[in-house]
Structure 1
Amino acid sequence: MNTSYKVRFWEIRPNKSKVRAGKVVSYTVRWTVAGREKNRTFQRSAQAKNFLSDLRQAAKSGEEFDVESGLPLSQLPKPEETPARTWLAFSLAYIDMKWPDAAPKSRDGLTETIATVTPVLVREDACDAPDTGLLRKALRKYYLAPQDRGRPRPHEIADALTWLERASLPMSEVGQAPRVRAALNALARRLDGNPAAASTVARKRAVLYNAFEYAVEVGEYERNPIDSVKWTPPKLADEVDWRVVISPRQMRECLTAATYVGQRGRGRRLRALYACMYYAALRPAEAVALCKEDCHLPEEGWGKIVLSKSLPETGSRWTDSGTTHERRGLKLRPVNEVRTVPIPPVLVKILREHIREFGTAEDGRLFQTERGGVVGSTAYGDVWAEIRKLAFTPEQVVSPLARRPYDLRHAGVSLWLNSGVPPTEVAERAGHSVNVLLRIYAKCIDGQQDRANERIDDALGA
């Protein structure tokens, strides 16, 4: 901006109408800034006098004048203020920041959480609100994920998003305690109004907290608004239910039953997969990704598995590859870190038999569909349900006993702990920290109490 202190004023000039000869109809204020003549015309004398007085007062007080407009800087039109950012606009910025480095399941969780809280973070005077279910659908499938924003929108979806863009609260109001509480309460309920699972609430709250942390980072708030709200989430039961743990005998019966399940040897094809979850305590995503080169399988004695990757399953729309499985590193481990799991002779034998009978996929994976694809959770879940019906009694079938394939991992870790293996070694093999291991499996450790009592008795009698 070009400015100058060099200002000169002339007296106001009355202007006479040519139509009405001799009658004054306007008044012109004239002045110069840095030698450039300026003028402003008013219909009334008082208006012109006031304007000239303001100019002279600004010059007298030593104010700079803008050469282009001729006005003192204090009288320049204020630039339009940028509209306050709404929660909806902030949510897009937050998702765009997280998206490139987020795992597919994390991307799913991001959009799910934002879609859950956004319908309640709207103005109270916003009329004709669409159905909450429609708003969540519009956000999840047409708005939040970067790849969805250009999709053609059905009429009702477009109307819902237009309403939401108008009604979304500015971030200054979102950070107020009543609004934060409303968002947290939304996380605690399913769409049908029933309470959400404690694990779901904990996961979504973590996402919302992180979103507010980003708001602090970009200057929307001085501190995380959630920290100012006294809100108690549902109690999270993260301990494994001891009733899901099956014994080695029951596992052997299940592996035998697997050979009788499904057409074209479907159960037999998955038998070694279940064995890896039990005898090596592998997570399903780790077992599905297991390759022949990861396995050291001697003809006799113990072998070992060296894990370096997993294939977690999620919706194809959340992965960069567009597939339902995307290769990732090990859970809770730095990128490229490996985990070595010694495996007992029984698992060595099962894996050797599996390789002889079914070979490997083109990329070396041990477990594959008949067409060489990645084994999905639906497939190994359905087969396991049939195995339970063959191997268990009717009472056991309706019980929690090994209801999910993941429960085989819980049983494997529990077996190690109850066998007296030090927790540090169990944690290393299972891919846990010791603290997390003992907290999760606290109810599954049997027999340790009697041993502890005996040691105390010996100490007291000494």
Structure 2
Amino acid sequence: METTYNVKLWKTSVYNGTRKTTYTVRWELDGKEWRQPFVTAALAESFRAELVVATRRGEAFSTATSRPLSHQTGADNTNWYAFAVTFADALWGRTSANNRKVVAKTLMTVTVALLRSPIPAHMAPVGVRTALREYGFNTKKRHQAPPETLMILKWVARNTMSMAAWEDPARVESVIQAISRKLDGNPGGREFRQA
């Protein structure tokens, strides 16, 4: 997990909209601006005060979640890919084959969107997607994966973000955008059906 001590805080900004007023706390980590809107000034000032206290204590901030380490939920200790595999396995015995395919395709797309680094040149993106869809999220076939597929899955396991990525609104938005598009980039999201 990457952290920083380079933190700047600004005064809470107020936006008077036609329907409601929004109070937004703004801060910067290593030059990247973060925002958190609130419906009342008291909530915004309380949150800002927590950031100020953490800064004065000399606490490190997570560059993934933008929050002080004391605010971490423990999600940064869980790898997304490991969680997704466990999720797929939990659904396996109680869902239809068609639903398993939908889940595997969805988890594949989300996993690629949550990679910390680009897919290496020696791995074809289609090969990574196939490895995830056909083996990584397939309880029955995972242990039958050929050596080159195992290599890809091990790389994915090392290079996916932690569950703390879901605490970053910008990251969640990028995942939603990935799910809402076909592999060729055109609109046409997948349906995710629960068991």
Q: Per the shorter chain, which TM-score range?
A: 0.5 to 0.7
Is contact 2:106-2:179 (8 Å) kept?
A: yes
Is contact 1:119-1:132 (8 Å) kept?
A: no
Deviation for aligned residue 1:104 = 1.9
| Map of 2:102 onto structure 1 | 109
| Map of 1:178 onto structure 2 | 170
- CA deviations on 1:168-212 (whole Å, 9 max, x unpaired) are 10101233211211111111221122222xxx43x13x56xx9xx
Is contact 2:165-2:172 (8 Å) kept?
A: no
| Rounded Cα–Cα distance in structure 1 between residues aligned with 2:146 and 2:152 | 10
| Map of 1:146 onto structure 2 | 139
**What is the SS of the residue equivalent to 2:187?**
coil
| Rounded Cα–Cα distance in structure 1 between residues aligned with 2:96 and 2:138 | 13
| Map of 1:95 onto structure 2 | 88
Q: Which runs of 5+ in 2 are unaligned?
A: 1-73
Equivalent residues in 2 for 1:53-202 (5 A)? 84-124=77-117, 128=120, 130-155=123-148, 157-196=149-188, 200-201=189-190
- CA deviations on 1:13-70 (whole Å, 9 max, x unpaired) are xxxxxxxxxxxxxxxxxxxxxxxxxxxxxxxxxxxxxxxxxxxxxxxxxxxxxxxxxx
| Rounded Cα–Cα distance in structure 1 between residues aligned with 2:127 and 2:153 | 10
| Rounded Cα–Cα distance in structure 2 between residues aligned with 1:95 and 1:114 | 8
Is contact 1:142-1:153 (8 Å) kept?
A: no
| Map of 2:69 onto structure 1 | none
Is contact 2:119-2:125 (8 Å) kept?
A: no
Are the structure 2 counterparts of residues 128 and 174 from structure 1 closer, same or farther at C-alpha, using a change threshold of 3 Å?
farther
Percent of aligned pairs sharing the same letter:
28
AA matched with 2:77: A
* Greater relative CO (CA pairs within 8 A, separation 6+): 2
- CA deviations on 1:272-300 (whole Å, 9 max, x unpaired) are xxxxxxxxxxxxxxxxxxxxxxxxxxxxx
| Map of 1:401 onto structure 2 | none
| Structure whose alpha-carbon radius of gyration is higher | 1
What is the RMSD of the two structures over their aligned residues, measured on CA atoms?
Answer: 2.5
AA matched with 1:108: K
AA matched with 1:177: P
Q: Which runs of 5+ in 1 are unaligned?
A: 1-80, 211-462
Are the structure 2 counterparts of residues 104 and 152 from structure 1 closer, same or farther at C-alpha, using a change threshold of 3 Å?
closer
Is contact 2:89-2:137 (8 Å) kept?
A: no
| Map of 2:20 onto structure 1 | none
Deviation for aligned residue 1:132 = 2.8
Are the structure 2 counterparts of residues 120 and 194 from structure 1 closer, same or farther at C-alpha, using a change threshold of 3 Å?
same
Is contact 1:121-1:174 (8 Å) kept?
A: no
Deviation for aligned residue 1:113 = 0.6
| Map of 1:444 onto structure 2 | none
| Rounded Cα–Cα distance in structure 2 between residues aligned with 1:154 and 1:106 | 27
| Rounded Cα–Cα distance in structure 1 between residues aligned with 2:174 and 2:144 | 31
AA matched with 2:106: T
| Rounded Cα–Cα distance in structure 2 between residues aligned with 1:100 and 1:175 | 30
Are the structure 2 counterparts of residues 127 and 140 from structure 1 closer, same or farther at C-alpha, using a change threshold of 3 Å?
closer
Are the structure 2 counterparts of residues 107 and 164 from structure 1 closer, same or farther at C-alpha, using a change threshold of 3 Å?
same
Is contact 1:123-1:168 (8 Å) kept?
A: yes
**What is the SS of the residue equivalent to 1:147?**
coil
Structure with greater strand share of residues: 2
AA matched with 1:161: L
Are the structure 2 counterparts of residues 91 and 127 from structure 1 closer, same or farther at C-alpha, using a change threshold of 3 Å?
closer
| Rounded Cα–Cα distance in structure 2 between residues aligned with 1:189 and 1:178 | 17
| Rounded Cα–Cα distance in structure 2 between residues aligned with 1:172 and 1:181 | 14
Q: Runs of at least 4 residues of structure 1 off by over 6 A?
A: none
AA matched with 1:117: V
**What is the SS of the residue equivalent to 1:158?**
helix
| Rounded Cα–Cα distance in structure 1 between residues aligned with 2:114 and 2:146 | 23
| Rounded Cα–Cα distance in structure 1 between residues aligned with 2:167 and 2:126 | 24
Normalising by structure 2, what TM-score? 0.54
AA matched with 2:135: Y
